Amino acid sequence: MSRTAAVLRLPILYIGLALARAGLIDRERAVETADLAWPRIVTGVARMSKNAADVAMVGAVLGADAIAGVGVAGPFWGLAFAIGGGVAGGTIALVSQRYGADAYEQLGLAVRASTVLVVVVSLPVVVVFWLFPTELVRLINSDPTQIEYGARYLQIVGLGIPFAGLNLVGSRVLVGADDAYTAMQVRAGGAVVNIALNAVFIIVLGWGVAGAALGTVLSNVFAVGAFAIGLSRGSAPGFGQFPVEINPVGTYVDGDTLKDLVRIGTPVGARNLVWTAAEFPMLGILGTYRDGTLAAFVVARRIWGIMNTPGWGFGLASSSLTGQALGQGKEALAEAYGRDIIRFSVATYAVSALIAAVFARPMVSLFINPDSPPATEPIAVSLIYAACVAMLFRGISGSSIGPLDASGDTRVPFLSQLLGMFGASIPLIYIGSVTPLGIWGVYLAFLAETTVPAAINYWRFNSGKWKEISREIRPEQDEGGAAG
């Protein structure tokens, strides 16, 4: 591990060791979890910072209308992560269990099947976004200027959806094989490329929202290329050795593997799609609030994304470690990992929330153009404070999902997210728009979005049902050798 990597690892490791000294988690599991989680958290910070930089650059150059335009196009781009994340959810479940059982031939088959599935599912979406961007954006926004910005962004960024999906699959393969560090290098490298391209396209060349979209597409192409080279050759220039080598020549369409991917991944994709689908009515309702509220919400959600990155690391670490234990038939160990990671996650989210609360105002000021409505900045700051409280429950929700995903028990997390968004969060935003509750409806919506899934996901984890479900997808134990 490089000196820089060691420094980046330390904050997460210190939190885990402090919990271990307090007797709250096992020290060895704390170190294992930190080693898997911190690269994914750094990846998340890099990627979410890239998204924030998109909005900050666009806002600084073009103002609040451009921020809102990119914001209303966001739910459509979110389909890339619903599609890719769904397939990748199936990928990490199959890969982690096969890696834990040394069933490398089956592991290679799972990766190839995931690749073909994500491409087939995403291509129709690309076509629709290219042909009908204006009509799609107009569904949730009526401001002509914002529609123009949003449609221009959506048409171009839609070309990157297959690459974004493959990017997620490649990352999950490595995390499932106990190597979050290389996945971090590739995806964080893509984020750095994205920021650099955006600076050139938006500021130097003056391409505005089109430049932001093009930078996103090209950065995903870069990351997918690195994953493809590394997985097919066992290493990639600049990124070192990969934990597994997948022969690209082999079976891609295997009925049983595709069936498992669809069965496990569909609820994961649907869970991701809940937030994407929820943004449509949410942004539409926010457009009826006072001037500046919609732009403030977009800014707050970008900062929320950075605050939420601990969940990326702990959720995937939990999926990988519990999945490997399940693959070896060690159900008690899988549960022990799950419980320790939930506590670890909550503590880390508390630190993240404290930092965000202290720096809320200066962070928001980076996004706001002097020509923006006066209410934009104070509303965005208040939303950050609300998010800091909500984030504590996100630590429970996100880390409870890890063992459920690893076992193939993915339906309950989908239903919990659905209930949290459509049963609580969106109704609160609507109530705020038509009653004196006002902006407090949005604050409460942030809290409802995390507390409802936290309660349901933890209940499901605590029930132990997921261990029984995992037995249905555990690999055969008679295969070994190099990954095919």
Please tell me whether the overall predicted TM-score, pTM, comes out greater than 0.85 for this model: no
For position 483, what pLDDT does the model report? 42
Task: Give the model's pLDDT for residue 143.
Answer: 79
Which pLDDT belongs to residue 484? 45
Query: What pLDDT was estimated at residue 480?
Result: 40
Per-position pLDDT tens, the chain of length 484: 455 455 667 888 899 999 999 999 999 999 988 888 887 777 777 767 666 777 777 777 777 777 777 877 777 877 766 777 778 777 877 777 777 776 667 778 888 888 888 888 889 889 999 999 898 888 877 778 888 888 888 989 889 889 988 988 888 888 778 787 888 788 878 888 888 898 889 888 888 888 888 998 999 999 999 999 998 888 888 888 888 778 887 787 778 888 878 887 777 777 777 777 787 788 888 878 877 788 888 888 888 888 888 887 888 788 888 888 888 888 899 899 999 999 999 999 999 899 989 999 888 887 776 666 777 888 889 999 999 999 889 889 888 888 888 887 888 888 898 899 999 999 999 999 999 898 899 999 989 999 999 999 999 999 988 888 888 766 655 444 444 4
pLDDT number for residue 478 = 45
**Residue 178, both tokens:** 């106990």
Instruction: Give me the pLDDT at residue 481, please.
Output: 40
